[in-house]
Amino acid sequence: MVENRPGASTIIGTQTVATAPGDGYTILLTSFGFTTVQFRKHPLPYDVKALTPLYQLATSPLTLYVTQNLPVKSVDELIAYAKAKPKDLMFASSGIASSPHIGAELFAAQNGIEITHVPYRGTSPAIADLLPGHVHAIWGAPSLMAYVTSGKLRVLTVANAKRLTNYPDVPTTAELGHPNFVAASWYGMFLPAAVPADVRDKIYADVKEIGATQSLKDALLKIGLEPANLTREEFAAFLDAERSKWGEVIKARNINIE
C-alpha cells in the first residue's frame, strides 16, 4: 500500500517512517530533499539515525534547459551571457533547497557567475513561466525533454557521468569541459533502524531482485528516470557524499532552509 505524505521538503513523510514500529512493514521512499533538510537552521523533528539506507532506486540527472528567447545555444554561451549581465540570468526552481535550486547555485559558483534564483511551488509553475521567457533557465529533470522535442525549450547539457539513456544526443557537462559539475535528484528507500537485521536482509534481497528486472528499469526510463540499482552499502556511501557536497554549497551560498 502506498501512502503519500508530502510536505515540508520531505520532513513529514520521513518523520512518519523514522517513528514507525521496527517491524519491517513501513518503508520510506524519498528523494533529494532528505539530505538537504539536514542543514536547516532549526532541528529536525526526527533523528536521522533512526533510519537506515536500504536501496537506491533511480536518479534524475539535472538537465539544463533554457527558453527559446534566450540568445544562447551552448553552456559556454550561457556563462558568457551571465558574465556580461551579472544577476540578469534568472534560474527557476521548484522551490528553495530543491535540486534545481542548489544545482543552479553550484553551477554559478563553479563558473564565477552571478544569477538570480526564482523559486516556485513546484516544477509546473516554474515551467509555465519558463516557456514564455519570464525566467531564462532551469536545471530540471530529463522528463522535461518533451518540451525540447516540441520546440518549446532548448537543452544544453546533462550534469551526469554518462549521457541519458533515452536522449543520447544531449552532451554531458564533462564532455563540454565542466567535469566537476555532476548533479542529480535521486530516489531511494529507507527502513526504520529498529528493524531487526534478519528482516532487513530479507526486505533488501526482495527489493534488489525487483530493482534488477528489466520491466522496472523500462518503467523508470519511461518517466524520465535513470535506473540506479545501488546496493545498500553503495547507497549509504552515496548519501555521505551528498551530505558533504551539498552541505558545502548551502553554507557557501548562504541558502536559508526552513
CA distances from 138 to 11, 35, 152 (A): 24, 21, 14
Burial class (CB in 10 A: 0-12, 13-18, 19+), 213: exposed
Q: What is the pLDDT of residue 184?
A: 96
Chunked into runs of 10 residues, the chain (258 residues) has average pLDDT values of 88 95 97 91 92 97 97 97 96 93 96 96 96 98 96 97 96 96 96 97 97 96 92 95 94 85
Burial of residue 38 (number of CB atoms within 10 Å: 0-12, 13-18, 19+): middle
Q: In the structure grid, which three cell numbers stand for residue 99, read together?
A: 535540486
| Sequence-distant (≥ 6) Cβ neighbours of residue 234 within 8 angstroms | 56
pLDDT score for 78: 98
Q: What is the pLDDT of residue 7?
A: 81
Q: What does pTM read for this prediction?
A: 0.92
Domains of the chain: 8-60+187-252 (3.40.190.150), 63-158 (3.40.190.10)
